[in-house]
Amino acid sequence: MNMSQQDLKTVVVVGNGMVGYKFCEKLLAKTSAFNIVVFGEEPRHAYDRVHLSEYFNGKSADDLSMSHLGWYSENNIALHLGDTITEINRSEKVIHSLKGVSQPYDYLVLATGSSAFVPDIPGVEKDGVFVYRTIEDLDLIQNYAKAARKGAVLGGGLLGLEAAKALIDLGLEETHVIEFAPRLMPRQIDSAGSAMLQAKLETLDLKVHMNKSTSSILGDSNIKGLQFNDDTSLEVDMLVISAGIRPRDELAKLAGLETGTRGGIVVNQKMQTSDDSIFAIGECALYDGMIYGLVAPGYEMAEVVAAHLCAGERTFNGYDMSTKLKLIGVDVASFGDPFVTEPDSRSIVFEDSHKGVYKRINISNDGKYLLGGVLIGDADAYNILLQTVNNNILLPPNPEDLILGARGGEASAGAGVVTLPDEALICSCEAVSKGDICGAVTDLNVTTVEGMKKCNKAGTGCGGCVPLVKDLIHETLKANGTYIKNVVCEHFDYSRQELFDLMKLNKIKTYDAALDHFGKGDGCELCKPTVASILASLWNDVIVKQHTIQDSNDRYLANIQKGGTYSVVPRIPGGEITPDKLIVIGQVAKKYNLYTKITGGQRIDLFGAHLSELPDIWSELIDAGFESGHAYGKALRTVKSCVGSTWCRFGLHDSVSFAIEIEERYRGIRAPHKIKGGVSGCVRECAEAQSKDFGIIATEKGWNLYVAGNGGSKPQHAQLLATDIDKETCVKYLDRFLMFYINTADSLTRTATWLNKMEGGLSYLKNVVINDSLGINAQLEAEMQGLVDSYHCEWKEAVENPDLRKQFAHFVNAPKEKDPLVAFDTMREQVKAKEW
Amino acid sequence: MEAVIDIAVEWVFVCKTDDVPQNGGGCVKVGDEQIALYNFSRRGEWYATQNLCPHKQQMVLSRGMIGSTGDTCEPKVACPFHKKTFSLLSGECLTGEEYQLKTYPVKVEGDRVYVGIE
Ligand code: SRM
Ligand SMILES: Cc1cc2nc3c(=O)[nH]c(=O)nc-3n(C[C@H](O)[C@H](O)[C@H](O)COP(=O)(O)OP(=O)(O)OC[C@H]3O[C@@H](n4cnc5c(N)ncnc54)[C@H](O)[C@@H]3O)c2cc1C
Ligand code: SF4
Ligand code: FES
């Protein structure tokens, strides 16, 4: 039967926020039997308020949008943006908008959300006082912050801290948080947790004032400062008020619907208001005396109404208010009942004030069940702990393992998911259960998180459950007998480590031999560079002898750029260079019209070389005493140094000489991914050694050795492997560490990720490298020495060997000609690649 | 440039077999046209496609890695820039986009390589 629009019942949604939007999505997923009409007061489509702060980190309003352009019209939803509903006529069942639209309804859904609560402090109307709720608020804040130096946030709750982070990101010199209560995030965490959080935030340059009640806002038309009740004051140029939320119930009140004394539209289990054709969902709804200021319960409410309109039975029964957040870079989580204490429960507390970690779990008196807890500084265990509470899972005999992590959080979490019941809610934003996820793996053959997102939306909301989803996929595959191994590609059924061992054992020296012995098919762009890297790590032969299996940069010993030209990066060990060599670089760059730039790795990059010019350029550099910098290879890049004791008044030892020594020792060594090092002359750490794959820092008594740091998109500090060791020991440990990494890591895995995935983590690594627990150290050292001894400058080999040199041509039938399509623009008196 | 006339296409001599590396590619210039020539020596086959990668209009496909994929061992090339891969047989993009490469027939006589131009 094909019903016409007129026959359909009309559902009108007031409010196009997160929950209002989700309601439409959920209703559409169930039926097309309604006319849907939406009114939104804000000028734009519903957007993700939870990730609002990312607007300051470069996300646009479009990026935050909950739907793609055209979603509403594709789904036949009549959308009125920038129009506020001002009146509900319940007897006629029609609503009226500010712009004069009258819209009849059969069912009305109020999803009006809440607004920021602004306390009645004299002076709140001054310029420079803001709230933090909408994209418009953020635009205003961003504009005003340009001319401001000091900012404050009123309120030390979840949203206040989020706003404080935004002020820091906007570049304010000073950011203060003013909290009326004696602790931060009073709704979520206990006082010990608050103290740890405060200490941690203060090291991040946030000034936190507790127990402060603000009596007035100072200044003429613009804010100049805050006056407190205790007669102190604080000078600030701007203020963000984040003192709580006020449910938007004004429309409901006007229509005579029942509201709470402290705000909120009263609803029953079906989200019905006192008028049974009017529903309220999200932050405006008051259920059982409670406003739920989080998005997941709002989505559940939306589901309840959508189900009800389709004659379903679902009811709302309250909602877990557990949260996990990253506030200003600090993990904060609270779950279950974070506050229960003796005599109703026992608590186990773990505290490490040095690292800023505080964990508390509350356990039932009989020791069987987890009731709730707080995690500050390290919330890796959050997901599994939350599941343990929600599903009444029996605790292990030593419940402290849950927060101490017997062997690191990841391993235990992986095993923990198996014990969850099928109904366990994994993704609370999208209401996806463990059963849904495992079912998708088993029945629909979904094997990746990306696939799961497409399949049932798990992990698409706040993203907090993604690690659990990953573990579940993994464990289900394992349980189904699918042996999951990181195989190299469709041509090699081995992991990189297995292939490495096989090739070593069988003395395989070419790609073709590897493919013939251990692979099938003709290879591809995944296995070729992997095998090439293994060959280089094993035998250290000149890589361009097998140039067609090298990744594009390795094939031409240079990084390819936009337009198809290449860059030239000579090695400048430790960043030290003589004036004469600087002059040569300048001359070469001038002669070949190359763009020059100092790199982030303390050396000089020359960009824009034609393929056929590379050997000529390198000949000149090599004649002047330069060698390849391997900037193109998954190989040792740079060992960054600070000037150290030769010049610096604080320097303890000669960091430059040590950096050069190390860089020369490991130059040219190929690995699963690039490796970088740093050597600093004292704890001031000017060489940023702790952000490198290995970092060495001078101490009074010798050197500290750190390993497995990373810059890049997921920065991570290196971890301390050994303290106060001498140079020889340092080199010995480094040899072992690097060779162990080369032997065992997956392709394209940096040392940091490798160590993160290692069972037992740093303590295991220490055992291997320092205590020789595997008994392989003599072998690792010998292998490394073999690589060190067989070092050659591959550019020297390439320019001196006519056959190899011939490979550097754009046209094989016209080797002297350059690609005529390469073109440059100019900028600040140098060339730059043409835009593509 | 010499030309041997065959049916429908004009066979243009482009280079010697050892000008193009084994299991790799090289770019040949035919008039103003840039053609990527692949010496798939592992299979004893030769292929040719346009040298221009349609993704960002870069003249680089000859510098890409070649290989095969799937049960049928479809021969392919991966662009060095963003690793989009293309079938050497049909020129079709194998990484899900709507790109299409022009392909050319190749003929080897002795150590001389010819490309068929329409
Ligand atoms: C030139 C340089 C930027 C600059 O102008 O300063 C640079 C340029 C490139 N970096 Fe970098 N990185 C440069 C320093 C860095 C640094 C800073 C450092 O080394 O102290 C980092 C962060 C530190 C780190 O590695 O942990 C850095 C992290 C990356 C990453 C992210 C790695 C990661 O683990 O997440 C990539 C991507 C990758 O390798 O997969 C990358 C990749 C690249 C590539 C190779 C991208 C590419 O494939 O085309 C760029 C090549 C440009 C070119 O055409 O030559 N570059 N890159 C720097 C060269 C340093 C040198 O002298 O060799
Ligand atoms: C900075 C920030 C960070 C947050 N972080 C988190 C987090 O990490 N985790 C979490 O769970 N929650 C977080 N929240 C809370 C979360 O955003 C809210 O719970 C969620 O947005 C509530 O959705 P809603 O649809 O009920 O209300 P809203 O998203 O506020 O939408 C209500 C909409 O209705 C409109 N409206 C109101 N009255 C009318 C009217 N009369 N006519 C027409 N339109 C009207 C409003 O303009 C608004 O657009 C955060 C909130 C903020 C501000
Ligand atoms: S940060 Fe990105 S853009 Fe800049 S050099 Fe590195 S890879 Fe290129
Ligand atoms: S230019 Fe070829 S893949 Fe992007």
How high does pLDDT run on average in chain B?
Answer: 90
Q: Name the residue among A512, A552, A563 with its Cβ closest to that of B80.
A: A552
**Is the pLDDT at B49 greater than 90, yes or no?**
yes
Asked if residues B46 and B38 have their Cβ atoms less than 8 Å apart, the reply is yes
Q: Are residues B63 and A528, on separate chains, in Cβ contact within 8 Å? A: no
Residue A42 beta carbon below 6 angstroms from any ligand 2 atom: yes
State the nearest Cα–Cα gap between B58 and chain A, in angstroms.
6
Average pLDDT of the residues in B31-35? 93
By Cβ distance, the residue of A555, A562, A814 closest to B63 is: A555
pLDDT tens across A467-478, in order?
788 888 888 888
Whether A600 contacts chain B with CB within 8 A = no
Taking 70 as the threshold, does the pLDDT of residue B1 lie above it? no
- Taking residues A662-688, report their average pLDDT: 97
Beta strands in A127-236 (DSSP E): 129-131, 150-154, 174-178, 206-209, 214-218, 225-228, 233-235
User: Would you list the DSSP string of B35-95?
Assistant: EEEEEETTTTEEEEEESEETTTTEE-GGGSEEEEETTTTEEEEE-TTT--EEETTT-BBSS
Q: Is A555 on the interface with B (CB under 8 A)?
A: yes
Q: Which ligand is nearest to the CA of A712?
A: 1
Task: Name the E strands within A46-116.
Answer: 77-81, 85-89, 94-97, 102-104, 107-110, 114-116
Pick from A608, A612, A600, A623: nearest CA to A568: A608
Cα A113 to averaged position of ligand 2 atoms, centre (Å): 5
Pocket test for ligand 4, best of B51, B82, B101 (most atoms within 8 A of CB): B82
Q: Is the pLDDT of residue B9 over 50?
A: yes
- Does the Cβ of A750 fall within 6 Å of ligand 1? yes
Residue B28: its chain A contacts at CB < 8 A?
Answer: 811-813
Q: Is the bond leading into A343 cis (omega within 30 degrees of zero)?
A: yes
Is the pLDDT at A139 greater than 90, yes or no? yes
User: Does residue A324 carry a pLDDT above 90?
Assistant: no
Summarize pLDDT for A45-57 with one digit per residue, the tens: 999 998 898 888 7
A132 has pLDDT over 90: yes
Of A548, A814, A821, the CB nearest to B65: A548
pLDDT interval class at A485 (50, 70, 90): low
Across the A:B interface, residue pairs with CB atoms under 8 Å apart total: 97
Give the model confidence (pLDDT) of A581-631 as tens digits: 999 999 999 999 999 999 999 999 999 999 999 999 999 999 999 999 999
Average confidence (pLDDT) over A732-753: 94
Q: What angle do CA A435, A436, A440 make, to 5 degrees?
A: 115
pLDDT band at A763 (very low <50, low <70, confident <90, very high): confident
Query: Which pLDDT score is estimated for A169?
Result: 85
Asked whether the predicted pLDDT for residue A159 surpasses 90, the reply is no
**What residue has token string 């004051």?**
A233
Question: How many angstroms does the Cα of residue A65 sit away from the middle of ligand 3?
Answer: 28
Taking an 8 Å cut-off on Cβ atoms, the answer to whether B73 and A547 are in contact is: no
pLDDT band at A484 (very low <50, low <70, confident <90, very high): low
| Structure confidence at residue B5 (pLDDT) | 46
Residue B57, classified by CB atoms within 10 Å of its CB into exposed (0-12), middle (13-18) or buried (19+), is exposed
Is any ligand 4 atom within 6 A of the Cβ of residue B63? Answer: no
| Rounded mean pLDDT, A491-499 | 91
Residue of A nearest to B85 (CA): A525
Mean pLDDT of B44-62: 95
Instruction: Reply yes or no on whether the pLDDT at A22 is more than 90.
Output: yes
Average pLDDT over residues A780-804: 95
For A712-751, b/e burial (b = at least 16 CB within 10 A) is: eeeebebbebbeebeeeebbbbbbbbbbbbbbbbbbebbb
Helix (H, G, I), strand (E, B) or coil at A83: coil
Q: What is the pLDDT of residues A270-287, one digit of tens each?
A: 999 999 999 999 999 999
- Partner-chain contact B37 A812, CB within 8 Å: yes
Give the whole-number percent of chain A exceeding pLDDT 90: 69
Nearest CB neighbour to A821, from listed B14, B59, B67: B59
pLDDT at A414 over 50: no
In this structure, what token pair is assigned to residue A14? 């007031």
pLDDT band for A416, please (50, 70, 90 cuts).
low
pLDDT at A246 over 60: yes
pLDDT for residue A409 is more than 60: no
| Backbone dihedral region for residue A760 (phi beyond 0: left; psi -120 to 50: alpha; all else: beta) | left
Contact B66 A812 (CB under 8 A): no
**What band does A2 get if pLDDT is binned at 50, 70 and 90?**
very low
Please name the residues in contact with A42: beta carbons below 8 A apart, sequence gap of 6 or more: A16, A17, A81, A82, A134, A135, A136
In three-state secondary structure terms, A85 is: strand
The answer on pLDDT for A410 being more than 50 is: no
Give the pLDDT confidence score for residue A341 in this predicted structure. 79
**Predicted local confidence at residue A574, as pLDDT:** 97
Whether the per-residue pLDDT at A76 is higher than 70: the answer is yes
Substitution target from A516, A804, A813 for chain B, most B beta carbons within 10 A: A813
Provide CB contacts within 8 A for A624, sequence distance 6+.
A580, A581, A584
Q: What pLDDT, on the 0 to 100 scale, is given for residue A6?
A: 62
What's the gap in Å between A381 CA and the centre of ligand 1? 33
Mean pLDDT of chain A: 91
ipTM, two decimals, is: 0.73
User: When comparing pLDDT for A301 and A352, which is higher?
Assistant: A301
Cα–Cα distance between A273 and A260 in angstroms, integer?
Answer: 12
What's the pLDDT at A204? 80
Which residue from A294, A331, A462 has its CB within 8 A of the most atoms of ligand 2, so it is best to mutate? A294
pLDDT given at position A526: 92
Average pLDDT over residues A234-243: 95
pLDDT at B8: 62
d(CA A762, CA A790): 31
Mean pLDDT of A331-347: 86
- Pocket probe for ligand 2: among A21, A50, A281, the residue whose CB has the most ligand atoms within 8 Å is A50
pLDDT > 90 in chain B, percent: 80
Q: Please tell me the total number of residues recorded for chain A in this structure.
A: 836
State yes or no: pLDDT of A407 exceeds 60: no
Q: Is the pLDDT of residue A415 over 60?
A: no
pLDDT band at B18 (very low <50, low <70, confident <90, very high): very high
